[in-house]
Amino acid sequence: MKQMHGLDVDPLTDIAICCGQSEAFAATMFAIINPGDEVILFDPSYETYETCIKMAGGVPVYVSLDPPHWNLGRRLYKKLLVIGWAIAPACFASAIRNIHIKVTDSAPAPFQEAALVALTSPLEYFESLRKDYESKRNYIVELLLRVGFQLHMKPKGSFFVFAELPASCVLSDIEFVEELIKQAGVVAVPGCGFFHTNQSSDKFSQAAFSYQKKYIRFAFCKSDATLYSVQKN
């Protein structure tokens, strides 16, 4: 952590090892949220965050990001908490571990062995892995652009692409995904599931958030053979 991310943490007290990021997030919410606490989330956001917060008794408060670059525009917000993995001050990490033990007890032994191999691998391995994912990302981005999708930025820390449907497309995100499965055998995720701020039945409000039905999420964490086969379809 110190070498790669500049984080000075005590591995014995400041880290809670969980079964992946989703469980780490859930355990963190149960550990630190009191009933009625408000938790700030960006919108769009990962679909499980809202459920975890509500189950812990918290109240999600969404900060809408401005499409197509998904930034805060002119708005200014302070003290936004973003949790990637369960590294926290010892008092919080201890609480997270207590929740983790009650939820999943421990990560499966094969996963722990794999994590040990990863953590002891040389930095050259991670650089090679980064280049491999970068190549996959560039391939899927170029493919989507060729068929008319609109991409306003390349992902830099994820293996997902959040692409806007072609301007000429009259289908909603859900309708497009259904047709994509039928006609090309390709499975993607409708973008509407990642938005939460359009809860109003007011027609003007719905019009303002109509862009939420125009995005599709594609994953490029696939083998090269799988990615290349998409182009044939």
Each domain of the chain, given as residue ranges in start order, spans: 2-119, 123-232
CATH topology of domain 2-119: Aspartate Aminotransferase; domain 2 (3.40.640)
Sort 183 into a burial class: Cβ within 10 Å, 0-12 / 13-18 / 19+: exposed
Hey, what are 204's tokens? 């003007």
Whether 52 has a pLDDT exceeding 80, the answer reads yes
Say if residue 194 is exposed, middle or buried (CB neighbours under 10 Å; 0-12, 13-18, 19+).
Answer: middle
**Chain-wide mean pLDDT for the chain?**
85
For the chain, give the percent of residues with pLDDT over 90. 52
Same CATH fold assignment for domains 2-119 and 123-232: no
CATH fold of 123-232 reads: Aspartate Aminotransferase, domain 1 (3.90.1150)
The amino acid at 87: I
pLDDT, position 49? 92
Length, in residues, of the chain: 233
- 222, containing H or E segment: none
Residue pLDDT, tens place only, 73-103:
443 333 333 333 688 899 999 999 999 888 8
14 or 83: which leads in pLDDT: 14
Q: Is the pLDDT of residue 133 over 80?
A: yes
* Range with lowest mean pLDDT among 97-106, 158-167, 176-185: 97-106
What type of residue is 231?
A: Q
Query: pLDDT-derived band of residue 216, with 50, 70 and 90 as boundaries?
Result: very high
pLDDT-based confidence at 174, cuts 50/70/90?
very high
Please compute the mean of the pLDDT values over residues 57-69 and round it to a whole number: 87
Whole-number Å distance between alpha carbons of 86 and 14: 8
pLDDT at residue number 38: 95
